[in-house]
Amino acid sequence: MGSTTLVFGASGQLGQCLQHVAKERNLTNLVFLPEDQANILNVEALQAVFAQYQPAYIINCAAYTAVDKAEDEVDIARKVNRDGAENLARLCGEHGTTFIHISTDFVFAGTGNTPLLETDEATPISVYGLTKLEGEQVIPAHTSQYFILRTSWLYSEYAGNFVKTMLRFGREREEMKVIWDQAGTPTYAIDLAGCILTIIESQSQQYGIYHYSNEGLTSWYDFAVAIFELSNTPVRTLPIRTAEYPTKATRPAYSVMDKTKAKTQLGVAIPHWRDSLKVCLSRLEA
């Protein structure tokens, strides 16, 4: 067993953030696998990679995340989000590798109004949410050494995300309509990457499911208002209800997650979402 950590889905937003934070922390034992080596549906390729690196950890950032498209592409969403997770979990079990898997607040229906605990019942209301939950559920059959991190509203300087989209629209338009009746918490993907790498650096064995987002709660509308305000983007922002902006997949109306477990058992400090947004915007400006 080496000390190597393999990252699957390395070219996506979280993968790029992991590269950034690993560099900041001077961590040289992370291998960011190219797509041809890291297809989580190609069992033979995965076996070869595990045999080559004998990883101590793997981080699975690979996922089917097109929430609306998943309603029509159920099979491919399930293959990636469930079968891919199972392929990795099986190999982790065989090699004694610790599995760090990224999941989502979409495993919840979002019908309540109190912050969600890891032990709360997961009853997804979209294909994306369902296939991500199925991915969580297949892991324990193959390994007990796993961390499942559910996160929400991910953004950063990298890849496409809500913050970058709002900044672009803000430059192009005078007025924006944004949903105000969905509450959650934005997560700066750099902070999530930091949490993941802290698990590895501390060699934590507090296995299980964790919630990780930034602190606080907000709506998409208030998030957009903060983005425009902090970036000095003059755009009129109007609140609309979810019903006025129909999408193929239903989103949770309230998906604020309780992070007490992550703070106490993993020992991570979690910044407030506005503070992290300021950091991201200043980096985007630079």
pLDDT above 80 for 171: yes
Q: Assess if residue 145 is contained within a domain.
A: yes
Section 21-42 average pLDDT:
93
Residue 101 and residue 148 in contact, taking contact as beta carbons nearer than 8 Å: yes
CATH number, domain at 59? 3.40.50.720
Residue 273 and residue 224 in contact, taking contact as beta carbons nearer than 8 Å: no
Q: Assess if residue 74 is contained within a domain.
A: yes
d(CA 157, CA 25): 18
List, for residues 205-227, the tens digit of each pLDDT value: 999 999 999 999 999 999 999 99
Q: Assess if residue 278 is contained within a domain.
A: no
Q: Assess if residue 277 is contained within a domain.
A: no
- Is residue 53 flagged as an active site residue? no
Q: What is the mean pLDDT of the chain?
A: 96
Spatial CB neighbours of 52, under 8 Å, sequence gap ≥ 6 = none
Q: Assess if residue 172 is contained within a domain.
A: no
Sequence-distant contacts of 262-265: CB under 8 A, at least 24 apart: 262/195, 262/210, 262/211, 262/212, 265/204, 265/206, 265/210
Structurally, how many domains does the chain consist of?
1
Residue 34's pLDDT band, with cuts at 50, 70 and 90, is: confident
Identify the domain containing residue 119 by its residue range: 5-157+187-216+256-271
Section 164-181 average pLDDT:
96
pLDDT above 80 for 169: yes
Tokens of 71: 């309603």
d(CA 128, CA 107): 8
Q: Assess if residue 44 is contained within a domain.
A: yes
Place of tokens 């006025």: 244
List, for residues 54-95, the tens digit of each pLDDT value: 999 999 999 999 999 999 999 999 999 999 999 999 999 999
Residue 268's pLDDT band, with cuts at 50, 70 and 90, is: very high
Biggest CA pair distance of the chain: 57
In the set 53, 128, 146, 221, the catalytic residue is: 128
The pLDDT value given to residue 1? 57
pTM of the model: 0.97
The pLDDT value given to residue 35? 81
d(CA 100, CA 60): 6
